[in-house]
Amino acid sequence: MKSEIKDYLSEAEIRLKDKDSIDEAFLSEMLTRIGFYQHERLVHLIVTMTFAIMTVLAFFMLVTAYSLPALLLSLLFLGLTIPYIGHYYFLENSVQKLYRLYYQALAVVKTI
């Protein structure tokens, strides 16, 4: 998904440089893609928050009843939460950038 979003962002930026290639079909495609990426972002937000809550609960378990399984569980959840946060950060920033590109394209279409 990460490479797909990067590819589409670069494609959209290239098309925005050529004002003649921007039309209603391009705007419609952008809205469809933004919708897909928003859905992906929502799913990853739910997963990230779930793992963050489980990480906090595992750390509470570790503090209240120190044991090797509690330590391993805490480290496992922490190890999974950090990449999820990084991926969600990427998704959030990419969707925000797509919004800006869409508004630029919309301004171009309105001036035509």
Residue 38 has pLDDT above 90, yes or no: yes
Asked whether the beta carbons of 26 and 112 are under 8 A apart, the reply is: no
Judge whether residue 112 has pLDDT over 80: no
pLDDT tens track for 74-95:
999 999 999 999 999 999 999 9
* pLDDT-above-90 percentage for the chain: 75
If one compares 19 and 41, the residue with the highest pLDDT of the two is: 41
**Calpha distance 15→26 (Å, rounded):** 9
Give residue 110's pLDDT. Answer: 81
Note the pLDDT tens digit of each residue in 51-74. 999 999 999 999 998 899 999 999
Residue 66, pLDDT score? 87
15 neighbors 21 (Cβ within 8 angstroms): yes
pTM, whole model, 2 decimals?
0.84
Q: How far apart are CA 36 and CA 68, in angstroms?
A: 42
DSSP label of 19: G
Domain ranges of the chain: 21-111
